[in-house]
């Protein structure tokens, strides 16, 4: 019993705009929890996104939709820290905070292949790869846009493949469908679809 008690906790970190959260996000979360044997997975809606050209939906709506989308996924924590943070929101700061809150835990950062290819452009990326194991999940459209991600030839760059079936859904497609007065229910959970309708989100392109 003592050896199990001394084992480090495995904590996943899955950030994104979640604008809106969809079935692909939840599939990735479930795959990560199972394959990485996570004790907790922090779903972290982005606050002020330094890398987004478009204006995000207000954070309170994205947070509420994330809470609805992940409500039935065990071991998920919808984490508000980045939307409560003032100024631009950086992953490296979030990882430092989680490390301080969970001494000795292993941190796993979940990202897509497109994000992985851009990782060396992230703020203080060298610290990110020291703080967390990078877990790269394939996207349905990734094969034709550069193939599988190859980690930079950097000593100690921890990268792990997340094996999951591609889910052909994107938040951009959902927003476009709603703006065109089409149903997004096949792509998002019913609770999220109701929230979008109630608050009249994404109704203009």
pLDDT for residue 161: 87
pLDDT tens track for 119-176: 989 999 999 999 999 999 865 444 444 445 555 545 556 788 888 776 788 899 999 9
Tokens linked to 72? 């039935």
The CATH fold of domain 2-140+152-167: Rossmann fold (3.40.50)
pLDDT tens track for 55-82: 899 999 999 999 999 999 999 999 999 9
Residue 190 class from Cβ within 10 Å (0-12 exposed, 13-18 middle, 19+ buried)? exposed
**Percent of the residues in the chain that have a pLDDT greater than 90, as a whole number:** 65
CA distance 69 to 180: 23
Stated pTM of the model: 0.87
Give the 3-state DSSP-derived string for 155-187, with helices as H, strands as E and coil as C: CCCCEEEECCCCCCCCHHHHHHHHHCCCCCCCC
Residue 77 DSSP SS3:
strand
- The Cβ of residue 45 has, within 10 Å, a number of other Cβ atoms equal to 29
């Amino acid at each position: 019993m003592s050896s199990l008690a001394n084992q480090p906790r495995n904590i996943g970190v899955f950030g994104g705009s979640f604008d809106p959260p969809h079935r692909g996000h939840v599939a990735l979360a479930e795959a990560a929890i199972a394959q990485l044997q996570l004790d907790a997975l922090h779903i972290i809606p982005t606050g002020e996104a330094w890398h987004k050209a478009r204006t995000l939906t207000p954070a309170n709506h994205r947070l509420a939709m994330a809470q609805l989308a992940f409500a039935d996924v065990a071991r998920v924590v919808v984490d508000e820290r980045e939307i409560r943070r003032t100024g631009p929101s950086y992953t490296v700061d979030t990882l430092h905070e989680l490390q301080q809150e969970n001494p000795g835990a292993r941190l796993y950062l979940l990202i897509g292949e497109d994000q992985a290819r851009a990782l060396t452009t992230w703020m203080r990326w060298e610290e990110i790869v020291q703080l967390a194991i990078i877990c790269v999940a394939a996207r349905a459209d990734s094969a034709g846009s550069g193939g599988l991600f190859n980690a930079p030839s950097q000593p100690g760059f921890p990268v792990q493949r997340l094996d999951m079936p591609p889910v052909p859904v994107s938040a951009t497609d959902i927003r476009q469908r709603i703006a065109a007065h089409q149903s997004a229910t096949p792509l998002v959970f019913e609770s999220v679809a109701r929230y979008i309708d109630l608050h009249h989100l994404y109704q203009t392109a």
